[in-house]
Structure 1
Amino acid sequence: MSIPVEAFFLTSGAAGALQRRIRAMVTDGILTGRFRPGQRMPSSRGLAAHLGISRITVTLAYADLVSSDYLTARGRSGYYVSDNAPRAPEFPTAARPKEEVDYAALSSARFTRAMAGVDRPADWERYPYPFIYGQTDPTLFDHQNWRACALRALGRRDFDALTSDYYERDDPLLIEQICRVILPRRGIAAGPEEVLLTLGAQNALWLAATVLLAPGRRAVVENPCYPGLRRILQTCGAGVASVDVDAGGLPLHLPPADVVFTTASHQCPTNATMPLERRLALLEAASRDDFVVVEDDYEFEMSFLKPVSPALKSLDKTGRVIYAGSFSKSIFPGMRLGYLVAPPSFIAEARALRSMVLKHPPGHIQRTVAYFLAEGHYDALINRMRVAFKRRRQVMEEAIAEAGLQVAGQGGFGGSSFWMAAPAGVDTEVLTQELRGEGVLIEPGRGFFDPAREARNYYRLAYSSIAPARIPEGVARIGKALARRGAA
C-alpha cells in the first residue's frame, strides 16, 4: 500500500529548511504509527510537484532518511518505510488522570509564592521599544565564530567531551580557561580545585545559600537587590535582614549575620559601585564578626566608562569570600553557565550538593565555551559589546534628559541599565502595563525591594537589547505616559 502525497503538506510560516521539514513530516508519520513498515513513499517527483518545491530537495531528504534507517531504497521501485524504523508504542494512550492531590497545599505553595510578581513577556522581540534587562542583541553576537566553536566541539576529536559523563567533575579545558583568562582580569588567583561550574548565576547563588544557610542561621542582603536571590532565601529557612544601599552600595553598619550577600562591583539594580575603602572594611568586619561574604559579580565585563574595581575575592586574605560569576551577560543568557570560586573545602560541599540535583552542565556547552575563550572570540565579543553599550548609554542619557525623567542610579563604570525613579505617587507596575500597549517594555521595581518595605515608584531601563535609533522615541513615550499622570 502506498502513502498518498496528500498525507504531506507544508505549513506556511513554519521554521526550518525545506529538507528538514520533509524529514520531520516523515519521521512524525512513522513514530505516530500513521506510516507503517513496508509502505511505499510517494515518488520524489510526485511529492515535489505536490509541495511545489525542487525535486532535489525531496531526494536529499529521502537519502538522509535512508541513512537513519527510517526509509529503505528498493532499486527502481522507489522508497519504502524501513522494517527497522522506530515504531510507535503498541498500547493505547491512557486517559489523563483526574487530579485529586492539592500539591500547592502539600508544599505550602512556598515556591510558587516566591515566584509571584515575576512578569516578563516571552515575545519581547516583537515590541519596538524593549528596555528589558539581560537579553541578547543578535546584531552584536558573534554567530559565525560561536558556530565554528560548537562544530569543533561536536567533532570526533572531542567525542568524549560531548558524550562522557564527567560525574561530579567539569570540563578541565573550560576550568583552565576560567582560571587563566577570566579570573585574572578580576585580580583573582585560583586553582582548578577552587572552581565549580553552575547552571548560571542563579544556580550559583542557590548552591551557596544552601551550603551556608539553614534554619537558625542569618543572612544579610542589599535592599533593593536581585529578586532571584530574595526568592532563594525565602525558601531556605534562614533569617533574612535587608539593609538599604547608598551611593556606595552596601553600607558597613550590618546586623549580626552568618552570610552577607553583595553585588559590590555593580549593585543590582542601582548600579552603585562599592568604594575600595569600604570593600576592605567589609572584609575586615567579616573576619572580626565571623561571617562569610557571597559576592555576585554578574556584570563586571560591562565596565566601559572607567577601569573596573578589584573584586572582593581578589582582596580576600582569609578565604571568607565566595565568588559567583556568569557568562549570561557576556555571551548569552540562554546558555545558563556560571561558576563559583571559593576555598576547596567549600567547593567540595557545593560539588556534592550539585551532584544531588545534576552532575554537571552539558559537556558540549562547556567545550564550546572553552574554545570560544581559548581562540580569543570572547574578548572580541566583549570589546564589541562595550563599544555598542557606551554608545547606547550616551543616547539613553540624552533621551532621559530630554524627557525630563529622573535617574535614581546609573553607576560610574558602565553596565547595561539605568535605575529610574518616578514621582512618589506613581505605581510603576500600572505604568508598565500601560506602556506595553504602546510597544514599550520597562521593568517595574517593586520586586527588587524587601516586601516589608517595598517601593512602587522605581523602574529599570536597560539598553542591552534595543537599537540606538529606537531609544529616543521609546524614552519619549515613557515621559509622555508620566506626563499624562501629571507626574513628569
Structure 2
Amino acid sequence: MDITIAYQRAIQKYQHKYVALYHALREGILNGSLASGTRLPSTRDLATMYGLSRGSVSEAYDMLLAEGYIQSAVGKGTFVIEQSLLSNTDNDIPIQADHISNTTAPLPPLSLWGQRIVQIEQEIIETRTYTPDSTYDEHHLVKSLHQQMNSTDAPPDIISFQSGEIILEGSSQISWKSALSAAGKDVQKSALDTNKATVQGDLWLREAICHHVGRTRGITATPEQVVLCSGSMEVIALLCQLLINEQDTVILENPCYSGIRRAITACGGKIEPAPLDQHGIIPEDWHAQLLVVTPGRQFPTGSILPLARRQHILQWARSRGAWIIEDDYDSEFRWSGRPIEPLKALDDTNCVIYVGSFSRSMFSSLRLGYAILPTVLAQALTAAKRIYDPLPPARLEQRALARFMIRGDYVRHLRRMNRLYRSRYDVFQQAIHEYNLDELFHWQQTDCGLHAYATWKHQPAMYNQWMQSAYRHGVVWRDAATYQIVPTVPSACFIFAYLPESHIIEGVRRLRESWDRMQYND
C-alpha cells in the first residue's frame, strides 16, 4: 500500500538513505500521520516507491523495530505499534534545517481583494434575520417552520415563490439526451487534439451563439468575440477584475442583483446607485467609466428600458469613453409584444459587453454563461479565465448544447417553455386579482420573465409582520430588500414559473389567508 512520508526533507539532512528513511518513518509515526496499527508496505514496495534498495529499507525497518516503533509478524506484515506503547520520545528532535528558527512566524494577511470577500460574506451572515428571504436555504425554512408551529397547525408542505429547479422534460429531454450522446463521440474523437480544447470555449457553441443572438437579438458577432464561462456571474466577476481599479466609480441600478454588488466591492470599486422608475434606470451624465445595467428586463423590477433611454445611455458611454456591461439574464422568455433591441445591437462604438446565460433557459445545473465583447477585451477575458480554468469546463455539455442549438432543438424548447410560462403567469395574475392582493401591492406589469415584482402599499412594519404570518401559513417569497443598495419601500419577488398551476393558486390563497388572519388578530 502507498504511504506518504517526509523522505525528501529527511534526505537533505541525513547523508545515508536508510537513516533518512528511518527518520522519515519515525516522524510519521510520532506525528500520527502513520497511525497506530497502520500496515507498512513490504520492503520491495517501499524500495520501489522511493527508489531505494531493499537492503536500505530493511535496515530502516530493523532500526524502528529495535526501538519499538513497529512490530512484525511472519506472514502478516509490518505494523505501526500502538501509541500507548511508545516511550522515551520526549527528547526526540524533529527534522528541520539547522538555520530555521523554532519560533512560529505569523502567516501573511489576505490581499485587499481577499479581505473584502471575507468581510462581505461576514456582513451577509450578520444581516440575516429570521425573516424568510433568498439568503435562506428552503430546507432550513421548512425545518424552522415546523419547529415553530404546533403539529395541528403546521401546513403539510411549504409553497415557495423564492426559487425553483429548472429541468428538461418531454421532447426537450429526449433531444438533449441525443445531443449528449453525439457530443460524447465528438469529445472522444478530439480528446488528443488540444487545439480544440480552447479556454475561450467550444468553437461550435460560440458559432451557434452568434447565429442565435443574430437571429433573435439583432446582435452581429463573430466566434472570436464570444467567451464561455461557468455561468453569467463568473463572466461579470472576471470583467470586474479586468475593468475596475481601486476607488473607481461604478454605476449600478438600485435595486440590482446582489452578486454584482459583491463583485464590484471586492475589486475596490465605489458603487454609485442609480435610481429607477417604472421604465427602468434614469439616465444621467455620470462621472464614471463603467455602467452595469439590465435594460431588456431590469432585475428585479422587470421594467423594460425604452429606446430613447437606451440611446441616451449609449451617447453617455461614447462621450465618456465608458464601458457598459449589459446583463440580458432572461431575455429568452417573452410571451407578447415585440422583442426590444439590446444595447449591444444598437452599439456602434464597441463599448457594450453583452452577457447571457443558459442556466435559466435550459436547466439549473447547466452552468454556462457567455460574453460577447470586442476582440481585444475578449482576449483579456480569456487570459483572466485561464487562471481559473486552464482547460474549458463542461466540454461535453458545451458540445451537446452546440448540437442542440444547431439542430433547432433549442428554439423549439424555448417556444414550449414560453407557452408554459405564459400559462402560469396568467394563472398567477388571475389568482392575484381573485384574492385581491392588489390591496397589498403595486404590481409591475410585464410581458416577459419568470417572476413578478411588486412594491408594498402599507407601512414597512406591517410588511415584516405579514411575512412572518405568511411563513407560518406555509408560503414564502423573495424579499427584494436583499437587492436594494439604498433602502427604499418594501418590495417582493414572486417566482411563479417553476410551480404547477395548482400550487400557484394555493400559494396565493395562503397569502390572502395569512393577511386576513393577521388583521383579525390585531
Q: Does 1:149 align with 2:179?
A: yes
User: What is the letter of the counterpart of residue 119 of structure 1?
Assistant: T
Equivalent of 2:252 in 221, 228, 232 = 221
Three-state SS of the structure 2 residue aligned to 1:151 is helix
Q: Does 1:251 align with 2:282?
A: yes
Q: Does 1:338 align with 2:372?
A: no
**How far does the alpha carbon of each residue in 1:45-66 deviate from its partner, in whole angstroms, 9 at most, with x for none?**
xxxxxxxxxxxxxxxxxxxxxx
Deviates more, 1:140-149 or 1:459-468: 140-149
Distance 1:395 1:145 in 2: 29
Paired residue for 2:476? Answer: 441
Note the 1:70-149 alignment, pairs <5 A: 107=115, 109-113=118-122, 115-116=124-125, 117=128, 119-123=135-139, 127-133=157-163, 135-136=165-166, 139=169, 142-149=172-179
Paired residue for 1:84? Answer: none
Deviation of residue 138 (structure 1)? Answer: 5.3
Three-state SS of the structure 2 residue aligned to 1:288 is helix
**How far does the alpha carbon of each residue in 1:323-361 deviate from its partner, in whole angstroms, 9 at most, with x for none?**
100011110121110100010011111111111111322
User: What is the letter of the counterpart of residue 510 of structure 2?
Assistant: R
Q: Does 1:460 align with 2:493?
A: yes
**How far does the alpha carbon of each residue in 1:284-329 deviate from its partner, in whole angstroms, 9 at most, with x for none?**
1111122211100011110112121001000000011011000111
Note the 1:284-323 alignment, pairs <5 A: 284-323=315-354
Contact kept, 8 Å, 1:264 with 1:274, in 2: the verdict is yes
Paired residue for 2:292? Answer: 261
Q: Does 1:421 align with 2:455?
A: yes
Paired residue for 2:19? Answer: none
Three-state SS of the structure 2 residue aligned to 1:442 is strand
Call closer, same or farther: CA 1:140–1:206 in 2, change over 3 Å.
farther
User: What is the letter of the counterpart of residue 455 of structure 2?
Assistant: A
Deviates more, 1:351-360 or 1:258-267: 351-360
Equivalent of 1:380 in 412, 417, 422 = 412
Equivalent of 1:278 in 300, 306, 309 = 309
Equivalent of 2:510 in 455, 477, 480 = 477
Distance 2:265 2:478 in 1: 22
Contact kept, 8 Å, 1:426 with 1:457, in 2: the verdict is no
User: What is the letter of the counterpart of residue 414 of structure 1?
Assistant: C
Paired residue for 2:187? Answer: 158
User: What is the letter of the counterpart of residue 212 of structure 1?
Assistant: L
User: What is the letter of the counterpart of residue 389 of structure 1?
Assistant: Y
Contact kept, 8 Å, 1:428 with 1:445, in 2: the verdict is no
Distance 1:140 1:311 in 2: 31
Call closer, same or farther: CA 1:287–1:148 in 2, change over 3 Å.
same
Q: Does 1:240 align with 2:271?
A: yes
Distance 1:185 1:421 in 2: 32
Distance 1:198 1:344 in 2: 16
Contact kept, 8 Å, 1:297 with 1:325, in 2: the verdict is yes
Deviation of residue 402 (structure 1)? Answer: 2.1
Three-state SS of the structure 1 residue aligned to 2:507 is helix
Call closer, same or farther: CA 1:213–1:305 in 2, change over 3 Å.
same
Number of residues paired by the alignment? 390
RMSD over aligned CA atoms reads 3.1
Contact kept, 8 Å, 2:236 with 2:260, in 1: the verdict is yes
Distance 1:482 1:416 in 2: 25
Call closer, same or farther: CA 1:456–1:444 in 2, change over 3 Å.
farther
Contact kept, 8 Å, 2:285 with 2:316, in 1: the verdict is no
Deviation of residue 426 (structure 1)? Answer: 4.0
Three-state SS of the structure 2 residue aligned to 1:380 is helix
Deviates more, 1:453-462 or 1:431-440: 431-440
Paired residue for 2:26? Answer: none
TM-score between both structures, scaled by the size of structure 2 = 0.69
Three-state SS of the structure 1 residue aligned to 2:339 is coil
Contact kept, 8 Å, 2:294 with 2:326, in 1: the verdict is yes
**How far does the alpha carbon of each residue in 1:442-482 deviate from its partner, in whole angstroms, 9 at most, with x for none?**
111111101xx224621110111100122122012112223
Three-state SS of the structure 2 residue aligned to 1:419 is strand
Distance 2:461 2:176 in 1: 44
Note the 1:14-93 alignment, pairs <5 A: none
TM-score between both structures, scaled by the size of structure 1 = 0.73
Structure whose alpha-carbon radius of gyration is higher: 2
Paired residue for 2:446? Answer: 412
Distance 1:220 1:461 in 2: 27
Call closer, same or farther: CA 1:438–1:169 in 2, change over 3 Å.
same
Distance 2:372 2:179 in 1: 25
Distance 1:308 1:447 in 2: 29
Structure 1 stretches lacking a partner, 5+ long: 1-89, 93-99
Deviation of residue 433 (structure 1)? Answer: 5.3
Contact kept, 8 Å, 2:166 with 2:364, in 1: the verdict is yes
Deviates more, 1:321-330 or 1:226-235: 226-235
Three-state SS of the structure 2 residue aligned to 1:265 is coil
Paired residue for 1:396? Answer: 428
Three-state SS of the structure 1 residue aligned to 2:291 is strand
Call closer, same or farther: CA 1:196–1:241 in 2, change over 3 Å.
same
Distance 1:120 1:180 in 2: 39
Call closer, same or farther: CA 1:482–1:135 in 2, change over 3 Å.
same
Paired residue for 2:30? Answer: none
Deviation of residue 163 (structure 1)? Answer: 7.5
Contact kept, 8 Å, 2:219 with 2:344, in 1: the verdict is yes
Contact kept, 8 Å, 2:323 with 2:351, in 1: the verdict is yes
Distance 2:395 2:437 in 1: 46
Call closer, same or farther: CA 1:376–1:196 in 2, change over 3 Å.
same
Distance 1:429 1:350 in 2: 43
Three-state SS of the structure 2 residue aligned to 1:187 is coil
